[in-house]
């Protein structure tokens, strides 16, 4: 059941967080996990025509959203990173994954998420270049001002020494202007749907903003 849902994630970004959360318990599943998986199937049964629509007149402006849920996992207190990338109004990539280490602050969790999102957009930038589409500075939107300030500061302060070195590569690309980290308020943070469970109204709003619509 989990395997079939993971396969469906390729076109249904709205179930990504729920499926990834259930997949963490495949080694020792319980009845409560089975109930949640069946609930996902009921949601899919009620929305069979929901999918991504790619209009032909959309632009090719690459931009991304990055977010993290600090200490969201109740078992090991690890945070969950979520990000998504757009070409114009078209959602082309999405991501949700529990971080490898326990973040000691919201800033660290957001900073790690920005790093993974930056790596993805840089790869996409090179892919577009292979197709003859040149992308200059890529906007990467985050709702944490402390993490944004940290990416723009080239100095390695004592308070950030606990963050793994591999996450600091984003500072070089910010200085080179490959990416620019922009602030977006939490209400318009589209990557929120990939990091935590949401209420019905918030979930429907983000689902619509991601471009998921009823297809003919």
What does the pLDDT look like over 106-136, one tens digit per residue? 888 998 899 899 999 999 999 999 989 898 8
Residue 198: inside a domain, yes or no? no
Q: Name the residue among 20, 32, 1 with its Cα closest to residue 69.
A: 20
Residue 128: inside a domain, yes or no? yes
Q: What is the pLDDT of residue 58?
A: 82
Q: Residue 29 is part of which domain span? A: 1-48
Rounded to an integer, what distance in angstroms lies between the CA atom of residue 101 and that of residue 83?
A: 18
Instruction: Indicate whether 43 and 68 sit together in one domain.
Output: no
Instruction: Indicate whether 22 and 122 sit together in one domain.
Output: no
Q: How many domains does the chain have?
A: 2
Rounded to an integer, what distance in angstroms lies between the CA atom of residue 52 and that of residue 90?
A: 8
Q: What is the pLDDT of residue 149?
A: 86
Instruction: Indicate whether 151 and 97 sit together in one domain.
Output: yes
Q: Name the residue among 154, 168, 160 with its Cα closest to residue 112.
A: 168
pLDDT at 159 over 60: no
Mean local confidence (pLDDT), 148-157: 73
Classify residue 209 as exposed, middle or buried by CB count within 10 Å of its CB (0-12, 13-18, 19+): middle
What does the pLDDT look like over 165-200, one tens digit per residue? 566 667 777 777 889 999 999 999 999 999 999 999
Supply 39's token pair. 């609930």
pLDDT at 157 over 90: no
Q: Name the residue among 5, 19, 8 with its Cα closest to residue 193.
A: 19
Please report which confidence band the pLDDT of residue 154 belongs to, taking 50, 70 and 90 as the band edges: low
Q: What is the pLDDT of residue 76?
A: 87
Which CATH number is 149's domain given?
Answer: 3.30.420.10
Q: Which residue has the higher pLDDT, 13 or 177?
A: 13
């Amino acid at each position: 059941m989990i395997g079939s849902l993971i396969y469906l994630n390729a076109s249904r970004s709205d179930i990504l967080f729920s499926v990834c959360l259930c997949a963490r318990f495949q080694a020792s599943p319980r009845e409560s996990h089975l109930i949640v998986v069946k609930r996902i199937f009921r949601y899919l049964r009620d929305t069979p025509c929901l999918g991504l629509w790619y209009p032909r007149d959309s632009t090719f402006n690459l931009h991304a959203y990055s977010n993290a849920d600090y200490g969201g996992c109740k078992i090991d207190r690890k945070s969950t990173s979520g990000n998504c990338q757009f070409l114009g109004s078209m959602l082309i990539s999405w991501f949700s994954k529990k971080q490898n280490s326990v973040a000691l602050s919201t800033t660290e969790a957001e900073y790690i998420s920005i790093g993974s999102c930056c790596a993805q957009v840089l790869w996409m930038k090179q892919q577009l270049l292979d197709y003859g589409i040149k992308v200059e500075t890529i906007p990467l939107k985050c709702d944490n001002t402390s993490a944004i300030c940290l990416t723009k500061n080239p100095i390695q302060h004592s308070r950030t020494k606990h963050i793994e070195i591999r996450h600091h590569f984003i500072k070089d690309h910010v200085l080179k202007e490959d990416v620019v980290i922009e602030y977006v308020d939490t209400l318009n943070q589209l990557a929120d749907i990939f990091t935590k469970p949401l209420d019905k109204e918030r979930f429907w709003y983000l689902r619509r903003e991601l471009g998921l619509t009823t297809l003919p």
